[in-house]
Amino acid sequence: MKKSRNEVGRWRLLRQKNIRRRRWLEGQSRRNSRIYTLRKMDNYKHRRSILFIQNAEL
């Protein structure tokens, strides 16, 4: 079945919107995961430094 010009335009817009949203979400999750890993590394370093200080005091 042939679609009218308006339908084609609407379909294309919807598709583009979905692609954009997906790309945006992907970017967000990537950013969040990067922040999460950085925070995790900070905690790890902090814990290690505390352990080191405690061992040095003994």
Between 17 and 53, name the one with better pLDDT: 17
Whole-number Cα distances in Å, 18 to 8, 13, 21, 34:
15, 9, 5, 24
Whole-prediction pTM? 0.46
Q: How far apart are CA 41 and CA 29, in angstroms?
A: 18
Question: pLDDT-based confidence at 15, cuts 50/70/90?
Answer: very high
* HSE, side-chain direction, 13 A CA sphere, residue 6: 0
Q: How confident is the model at residue 28, as a pLDDT? A: 84
- Angstrom distance (rounded) from CA 3 to CA 14: 15
Confidence bin at 3 (pLDDT 50/70/90): confident
The per-residue pLDDT for 57 is 62
Map residue 3 onto helix, strand or coil.
coil
Number of domains the chain contains: 1
> Which domain range does residue 29 map to?
1-58
| pLDDT tens digits, 18-50 | 999 998 888 888 888 888 888 888 888 888 887
